[in-house]
Amino acid sequence: MASVTHFIQNELLQSGQLHGYRMMAVRCKESGLNVRMEDVRIISLYLDPVGVALRRSISIRRRAYYAAGPNFIWHFDGYDKLKPFGLCISGCICGFSRRLIWLNVYHTNKKPRVIGGYYLEAVKIHGGFPRFVR
């Protein structure tokens, strides 16, 4: 463990200041040190608590989503991973309320007539159509 701690300490002093524990574990393995990732995480936390806290604070900033009201925008999507088994899933949600407009399974999603049929059926059921579709 002392050799791993010494290696990580040297990496932190050189070019590894911004590396997280996963990258540091890879660097350890590349240099021939056989160490668990969890051990690298604990050692990194002990040697560089400020750097760990800094890397933890960086998170993905999500964009703000805006829909003016119900049925303002509908989002369509398809799921084709089950296509080898003859199942294609198509769905649509309302962007404002996240309400499910439709969720259908058919043997194809490639024919625009099928998706258009789902759309027209939903317009009839809901008594209106969205301003935008995406």
Q: To the nearest whole percent, how much of the chain has pLDDT over 70?
A: 100
* pLDDT one-digit tens code per residue, 75-134: 999 998 999 999 999 999 999 999 999 999 999 888 899 999 999 999 999 999 999 998
What DSSP letter does each residue of 87-120 carry, written as one string?
A: -EEEEEEETTT--EEEEEEES-S--HHHHHHHHH
Distance separating alpha carbons of residues 55 and 92, to the nearest angstrom: 37
What was the pLDDT predicted at 51?
Answer: 85
What was the pLDDT predicted at 105?
Answer: 95
Cβ–Cβ < 8 Å for 94, 102: no
Q: How confident is the model at residue 42 (pLDDT cuts 50, 70, 90)?
A: very high
Q: How confident is the model at residue 13 (pLDDT cuts 50, 70, 90)?
A: confident
Distance separating alpha carbons of residues 106 and 96, to the nearest angstrom: 27
Whether the model clears a pTM of 0.75, i.e. scores above it, the answer is no
Domain residue ranges of the chain, discontinuous segments joined by +:
2-57, 73-133
